[in-house]
Amino acid sequence: MSKYEIFNVNCSHCVNKIKNELDNVSFSDDLKVIITDHDEDELREILEDLGFKLGKKLD
């Protein structure tokens, strides 16, 4: 699983919108990090289509 910064996620509605499009994702408690096994380019494209921005990959 990889962790990435994610921007524009502010509430459970945002989380649910993303989870409806992507299987096997979770979020940090503060909703600032997305945890997934999806390919980074695919993830970035899907999130941008939904109105969210993927940040840098975290260790």
Q: What is the pLDDT of residues 37-46, one digit of tens each?
A: 999 999 999 9
Per the listing, tokens 């990889």 go with 2
11 vs 56: CA distance, rounded Å: 21
Helices and strands counted in the chain (H then E): 2, 4
CATH class of 2-58: alpha beta
| pLDDT score at 59 | 78
Kindly list the domain boundaries of the chain, sorted by start residue.
2-58
| pLDDT score at 31 | 94
3 vs 25: CA distance, rounded Å: 10
| pLDDT score at 13 | 94
pLDDT tens digits, residue range 7-30? 999 999 999 999 999 989 999 999
